[in-house]
Amino acid sequence: MIPSDAELTENGLDTQTPRGRILLIACGALAREIVDLKAANGWTHLDLTCLPAKYHLYPEKITDAVRATIAKHRGDYDDFFVVYADCGTGGSLQTACEELGVKMVAGPHCYSFFEGNDAFAAKTDDEFTSFYLTDFLVRQFDAFIIKPMGLDRHPELRDMYFGNYEKLIYQAQTDDPDLTEKARKCADRLGLKFERRLTGYGDLTTALKEL
Amino acid sequence: MSDEDEIILSELDDEELVQQMFDDLYDGLKEEIEEGVNILLERKWEPYDILTKALVGGMTIVGADFRDGILFVPEVLLAANAMKGGMAILKPLLAETGAPRVGKMVIGTVKGDIHDIGKNLVGMMMEGAGFEVVDLGINNPVENYLEAMETEGPDILGMSALLTTTMPYMKVVIDTMVEQGIRDDYIVLVGGAPLNEEFGKAIGADAYCRDAAVAVETAKEWMARKHNSVKSA
């Protein structure tokens, strides 16, 4: 059973009794997507543990947390796969993975691998004024955007944060009209134009399929 | 903290007023800061003293508490906004009164990056420390930096990036400076959330600055070295 989004944000997801051969160490923001992919593809060789999704806001915590998780489960699995891209770690996660002999998802962040790293890179010149949200971030918009940026207490700060952005692109992993409507409201709150783009799971599927 | 509503700034003596301005900066109270600046001007304080003793002094406390995890970005932004209000009053007066100028800096966010909160904080604190700052804004290709260095003749080039995808562009700028034989004419400082000291060294910058306060201190140190080397040359 998948914990609530709030639980995934604060505490992540603990792995259950080891069953598979490979442990996926993922961002809590990807839990639902990975569980869905596992179920749809019958990937019983993969177990999942998630770090708190709130590390999205504190990327300096990710690398050490991944190291600690691998150390904790070293004897339980044949291999590990880190379901993070660089995600603001400035290359330190990649370096740690190389040291530990484990692989990770390619790309700069989840917005890129959901879109497909090559496709995302090709659009960079046109879209660097875009602010991205995924399904998880739309659901957790207040927890990840409004509250940590202090916009609930100081809405006047909005343009200091978002004044240079032009558009909010909602990268939809699932086709959910309610979520689309919520994403549109997020764009309104930030004073940005809105675009919805159905990406599905993009390169995440490819990366997990290869394991 | 006491109830601000009961405090009448004009009734405070100078020392109390400066302390109160520290508190008001900390709390991001722009109007109160503007009022405090005007009161000190009426009391014949030099604009430079107001800037350094009241505003920079207050922002230094804000910067230290941010570094120590006591304050967070929203509070720093509010404080910066309040300081900006005070600076807007002082800036023209500083120019008129011939306040000391420590050096000149050209600063900008690199190509493909629109994030400017950190850059703006650095620019403001550098101004507060007596540097003349030319702000190139966001999304700057190498040509913008080169042109500004040529026309403005700064001592320091500052580059900022928030994204791991855009920070490598700093190396493009520095490599171009090397190719054109002008790299050593400038102090190059870099900063931004995903950067670190190792990255700064790897791309050939003079220093990586982790926050605005460090940027100011680093800039002053490098300016002193520059003066020393000019003197001994």
C-alpha to C-alpha distance for A91 and A89, rounded to whole angstroms: 6
Interface test with B, best of A154, A158, A162 (most B CBs within 10 A): A154
Looking at 3.30.2000, 3.30.360, 3.40.50, 3.90.550, the CATH number of the domain A5-105 comes to 3.40.50
Give residue for tokens 């599927």.
Answer: A205
CATH code assigned to B101-233: 3.40.50.280
CATH 1.10.1240.10 fits B1-100, yes or no: yes
Do A28 and A6 meet the contact criterion of CB atoms below 8 Å apart?
no
**DSSP calls for A113-182:** HHH-HHHHHHHHHHHTTEEEE-HHHHHTHIIIIITTTTTTT-GGGHHHHHTT--EEEEEESS--HHHHHH
**CA angle (A135 as vertex; A156, A173 as ends), nearest 5:** 145
Residue B72: its chain A contacts at CB < 8 A?
148, 150
What residue spans define the domains of chain A? 5-105, 117-198
Instruction: Going residue by residue through chain A, which has 211 residues, state the pLDDT in tens, using 9 for 90 and above.
Output: 788 999 899 889 887 777 789 999 999 999 999 999 999 999 999 999 999 999 999 999 999 999 999 999 999 999 999 999 999 888 899 999 999 999 999 999 999 999 999 999 999 889 999 999 999 999 999 999 999 999 999 999 999 999 999 999 999 999 999 999 999 999 999 999 999 999 999 999 999 999 9
Q: Give the integer Cα–Cα distance in Å for A28 and A53.
A: 4
Considering CB atoms only, which of B81, B138, B164 is closest to A90?
B164
**H helices present in A23-109, as ranges:** 31-41, 62-73, 92-100
The beta-carbon neighbor of B199 closest among A90, A160, A164 is: A90
| Interface contact flag, B77 A90, Cβ < 8 Å | no
Cα distance between the two ends of chain B: 54
User: B1-100 with B101-233: one CATH topology?
Assistant: no
pTM (two decimals): 0.88
Please report, for chain B, the start and end positions of each structural domain, with discontinuous segments joined by +.
Answer: 1-100, 101-233
Complex prediction ipTM: 0.83
Q: State residue A12 phi and psi, 5-degree precision.
A: 75, -150
